[in-house]
Copies of this chain bind each other. A is one copy, B any other.
Amino acid sequence: MGSTFVGNLRISIFGQSHSGGIGVSVDGLPAGEKIDMGALGAFLARRAPGQNSWSTPRKEADLPEFLGGLVNDTTCGAPLAAVIRNSNTRSGDYENLRDVPRPGHADYTAQVKYRGYQDVAGGGHFSGRLTAPLCIAGGICMQILARRGVEIGAHLSRVGNAEDVRFDPVRLDSATLHAAAAKPFPTLDDAAGERMRAEIQSAREALDSVGGEIECAAIGVPAGLGDPMFDGMENRIARIIFAIPAIKGVEFGAGFGASRLRGSENNDPYFMDGGAVRARTNNAGGILGGITSGMPLILRAAVKPTPSIARAQQSVSLSRGTDAELEIRGRHDPCIAPRAVPCVEAALAIALLDAMLEKDRLD
């Protein structure tokens, strides 16, 4: 299991990096939702590799083919199913990984779990390539949400020690929310983007990689979504965001920072704003008791550095039971955080649409 999300939506992601193809089935989407294929393609392009200097030059033509769920590009109630062919299906380079696992990758843990039967080619089912179907699902959810006034955006908030400005958690507007998506490098502050690119370039030159952090938000979220306990919005969102490889931490609102605050600082005082209840601060990140408050929903996710680095690394030979040195060939993104930005948006979109599909009352 693991590749199936079970909520009000049921999402199955399948395929491996070098298998016949990858794809996704999304069950539970409301019927009658028009999909803007151009917008979807543009969204998917934001995570695609090979577009610019800071990402791997390997080209993907990640154009999904829809096998089901649509009539005239409009959801018909049947599961939406999309596949992307894998053009790169050679696997010769990878067989050694079954013996000498790459540090920081899932090679060793998969070996234990699947007893050597796992597909090692290109990382198999653990490959970052599997975020493409996640983005198909999420990109479609985003369009359905946007039609109801719920907008999602994200930016690269840090690479190494270079930091972007943060979203204003109270006054976040649509233009700011989407500002980073329109840029070749997804930051709010272009100077911060320059510093981050310098961090990435420095890592690349050192045959190394570097981590980062993504800030993601939603505005227009109605109050009242989510549940207490196991199905709080934090739980739901975290459950999906950690499906993105390399994410090692998630925080909401003030997050870990809240743990340093006094209650009088962290509590968000309410006030009436033209008939609506709003809060003067938003350390809660728009979630209280697991339920949305109507304030912007704010989260940050930590992205570890790309584990594939060109330097020689220490590993082991599982067959021989000895230490072994490993060199990883091929070219890899020295920082995957920029490409993970739309993935985090996709994860949040899935969680929010899923929550909106919960029915709290009967007529």
Q: How many residues of A contact B (CB 8 A)?
A: 161
CA A28 to CA B3, docked complex, whole Å: 9
A residues 1-57 touching B (CB-CB < 8 Å): 1-6, 8, 10-16, 19-23, 25, 27-28, 30-32
Q: Are A228 and B69 in contact (CB under 8 A)?
A: no
A contact face: mostly helix, strand, loop, or mixed: mixed
Q: Which of B103, B228, B305, B311 contacts A125 (CB 8 A)?
A: B228
Q: Which of B5, B148, B232, B323 contacts A243 (CB 8 A)?
A: B232
Q: How far is the CB of A108 from chain B (nearest CB, A)?
A: 6
> With A211-B261, A266-B305, A309-B264 known to touch, is A115 a contact of B31 (CB < 8 Å)?
yes
Shortest Cβ distance from A244 into B: residue:
B229
Q: How far is the CB of A345 from chain B (nearest CB, A)?
A: 17
A residues 275-319 touching B (CB-CB < 8 Å): 275, 277, 279-280, 283-285, 287-294, 300, 302-309, 311, 313-316, 318
CA A321 to CA B272, docked complex, whole Å: 7
Q: How far is the CB of A238 from chain B (nearest CB, A)?
A: 4
Q: How far is the CB of A78 from chain B (nearest CB, A)?
A: 4
Q: Which of A168-176, A177-185, A352-360 contacts B (4 or more CB under 8 A)?
A: A352-360
Shortest Cβ distance from A158 into B: residue:
B259
CA A249 to CA B304, docked complex, whole Å: 16
CA A108 to CA B290, docked complex, whole Å: 12
Task: Judge whether A348 is part of the interface by a CB distance below 8 angstroms.
Answer: no
Q: Are A255 and B291 in contact (CB under 8 A)?
A: no
Q: Which of B14, B28, B115 contacts A67 (CB 8 A)?
A: B14
Q: How far is the CB of A231 from chain B (nearest CB, A)?
A: 4
Can you list the 8 inter-chain pairs with the closest CB atoms, starting with the nearest?
Answer: A106-B289, A2-B227, A249-B251, A209-B263, A78-B125, A109-B291, A14-B81, A2-B231
Between A and B, 17 residue pairs with Cβ closer than 8 Å are A3-B78, A16-B69, A19-B70, A23-B68, A31-B113, A71-B117, A76-B118, A78-B119, A105-B288, A108-B288, A160-B262, A245-B289, A255-B302, A263-B308, A270-B314, A271-B323, A272-B321
